[in-house]
Structure 1
């Protein structure tokens, strides 16, 4: 089972708490010596005041950095935290174990300051800490430990905040990808529904008009057209169900057969082209959608008298070209399905062209690579 990622505020609270616990571990030897060694209430009160102020300011600035709420005064706050930590071993001299206090503020160097400034401050602290510790009479191991731990602590603080921000950005990117996936699915559904119903309803309307023309003259033709209308309506219902399920598959050969039959029934001269048996399977669907939408546009947006369909292939691509003579007698602008076709062919890494040629004809051409995209 995949664990649920907590909210950013929860992760930030855990990070701040763990950092302060780590700082408490650095300062615990000094407190232990003051509490059970010297037993001086004044020294203990001074230590508690300084440590409490450092903890409060440190936690607030770390939280603000994690939540991307850094302010200009945070640099001054870092100076206060550093001064408080470095004053502890000076004010409470002796073998109390306050040498580790020099390390504590380093975790904020690269968090509060820009990279160059943080590098300079970390370098200066690393060089000054041994001299400062020796001047206060601290043991040599403590001094060497501080010199090594300061740059490591600074780097650790930077990495902690950086990882937090990376996780937050990944979570936001994941949410955005989910929203984009939903949007893309809506667009796919709208495009498929337009292509399916636009073609089917136009064909049904055409068959109904043919049946109406032969109503008094040829009852047999009317019965044939009504049977075709019933078949088209059932096919449209099936296609809509497949669109909803996302499983619709289009065949170029089937679409070209249907296109030529519908156009001929509308009185438009159109011969069904030969489609080679060796065409790759992946080219049928995008080119089949081109044939379907082109038939819809010829019937709905033009008054063409002929339509020429050509399919050919070379070593690199499979081409489908549909030309009709209705560009000069168009009823109104082309349908919005052409933009959907361009998207489909682009998704198949193909080429798509559509527009008037200049001699009164309108040309739609699409090419899909023979190899798998």
Structure 2
């Protein structure tokens, strides 16, 4: 609407002002106001509809109606006092309403016929030359204006989509972290509770020890969940491997924690720590393994963790979404992940991440 007001005001306001303040003839004033009002309404509607990408065949008829009104006004009201400018009004809509190829042809035709019509109406030579330049310029300006509007609109939509995507990714991260944290912690708590139950009538000291461990694990789980919610949780590979070996040994699964070099790059701890955590849950929940071997290899280019257990032939059900989540984590860190039966009755989980952060390698 603002563009319409500026366009029509620039071309028709001087002539209308003359009719209102000096000419003061009721018939002419009524004709001028009616023609200008009709042109304004049609122009605004066509412009808005096309800005909103609501094109329709009827818009061609609207453009033709505006051209008819604006070309009739100088003929009926005369070319003095600015009514000749009305001939230029339709030019701004040519490239807005019509497809590009048709708009080029229509603009070329208007560039020829508008000055010719101006000559027939008696416009001065300078005004005719002005129309020769103004018609194609007006058509081009209309096209650029709508194009820029659509570009800005698409950028806003893209920004909104990025915001929605960021929210979705954060929700996915939260759900994945919560699954990994609680899945591991609750599995460990359940295991300790089973151990305590076995000793409830035989060894009070062992029961108290297991209950103390359960209490500690529950508190750690609460802390981990809070850190996940806040987004501040940092995972240490050494800590996760310590916890993994302790939990598996408590379940009667032979497991020794390998030495972890303190010189490991900081960025590898989180993805590989999640591998250890999920592998623990996987062994406890989906297999009846008797032993589990863990190896950590730190090379010049990458750091690898491999976890193998003998429960592949005795797995109880699907591994769930945990391993799929691990694959996503490792891939996001620029690494490689594999998990599955090794063919000799063992189940192997292996992950490798670059020794240098992604983008610095």
TM-score (norm 1): 0.89
Q: In structure 2, how many angstroms separate the alpha carbons of the residues matched to 1:40 and 1:217?
A: 115
Q: In structure 1, how many angstroms separate the alpha carbons of the residues matched to 2:20 and 2:197?
A: 105
The one-character-per-residue Cα deviations of 1:112-140 (angstroms, maximum 9, x if unpaired) are: 10011111111221233333322322112
**Alignment partner of 1:138: what SS?**
coil
Of 213-222 and 202-211, the range deviating more from structure 2: 213-222
The answer on 1:95 being equivalent to 2:80 is yes
Q: In structure 1, how many angstroms separate the alpha carbons of the residues matched to 2:205 and 2:18?
A: 110
**Alignment partner of 1:303: what SS?**
coil
* Unaligned stretches of 5+ residues in structure 2: none
User: Does the 8 Å contact 1:106/1:154 carry over to 2?
Assistant: yes
* Residues 1:94 and 1:116: Cα distance change in structure 2 (over 3 Å): closer
* Residues 1:255 and 1:84: Cα distance change in structure 2 (over 3 Å): same
User: Does the 8 Å contact 2:342/2:348 carry over to 1?
Assistant: yes
The answer on 1:368 being equivalent to 2:356 is no
**Alignment partner of 2:81: what SS?**
coil
User: Does the 8 Å contact 1:249/1:285 carry over to 2?
Assistant: yes
* Residues 1:214 and 1:40: Cα distance change in structure 2 (over 3 Å): closer
Aligned counterparts, 1:258-269, within 5 A:
258-269=243-254
* Residues 1:189 and 1:39: Cα distance change in structure 2 (over 3 Å): closer
Q: In structure 1, how many angstroms separate the alpha carbons of the residues matched to 2:216 and 2:207?
A: 14
Of 165-174 and 75-84, the range deviating more from structure 2: 165-174
Q: In structure 2, how many angstroms separate the alpha carbons of the residues matched to 1:36 and 1:94?
A: 17
How far off its partner does 1:39 sit?
A: 5.0
Equivalent residue for 2:257? 272
The answer on 1:110 being equivalent to 2:101 is no
User: Does the 8 Å contact 1:317/1:370 carry over to 2?
Assistant: yes
* Residues 1:78 and 1:218: Cα distance change in structure 2 (over 3 Å): same
The answer on 1:348 being equivalent to 2:309 is no
The answer on 1:159 being equivalent to 2:141 is no
* Residues 1:32 and 1:262: Cα distance change in structure 2 (over 3 Å): closer
User: Does the 8 Å contact 2:4/2:40 carry over to 1?
Assistant: no
Equivalent residue for 1:198? 183
How far off its partner does 1:243 sit?
A: 1.1
Structure 1 segments of 4 or more deviating over 6 A?
none
User: Does the 8 Å contact 1:270/1:306 carry over to 2?
Assistant: yes
User: Does the 8 Å contact 2:179/2:322 carry over to 1?
Assistant: yes
Of 261-270 and 217-226, the range deviating more from structure 2: 217-226
Which of residues 153, 156, 162 in structure 2 aligns to 1:177? Answer: 162
Alignment root-mean-square deviation, CA: 2.0
Of 84-93 and 296-305, the range deviating more from structure 2: 84-93
Q: In structure 2, how many angstroms separate the alpha carbons of the residues matched to 1:94 and 1:181?
A: 60
Number of residues paired by the alignment?
A: 358
**Alignment partner of 1:270: what SS?**
strand
**Alignment partner of 1:229: what SS?**
helix
Which of residues 216, 223, 234 in structure 2 aligns to 1:249? Answer: 234
Which of residues 266, 269, 279 in structure 2 aligns to 1:284? Answer: 269
Equivalent residue for 1:5? none
How far off its partner does 1:335 sit?
A: 2.5
How far off its partner does 1:246 sit?
A: 1.1
The one-character-per-residue Cα deviations of 1:35-59 (angstroms, maximum 9, x if unpaired) are: 5565554444433333222222112
Q: In structure 1, how many angstroms separate the alpha carbons of the residues matched to 2:21 and 2:341?
A: 95
How far off its partner does 1:30 sit?
A: 2.8
User: Does the 8 Å contact 2:330/2:336 carry over to 1?
Assistant: yes
How far off its partner does 1:302 sit?
A: 0.2
Which of residues 79, 82, 106 in structure 1 aligns to 2:64? Answer: 79
The answer on 1:20 being equivalent to 2:2 is no
User: Does the 8 Å contact 1:309/1:321 carry over to 2?
Assistant: yes
The one-character-per-residue Cα deviations of 1:59-93 (angstroms, maximum 9, x if unpaired) are: 22112112222211111110121122122223333
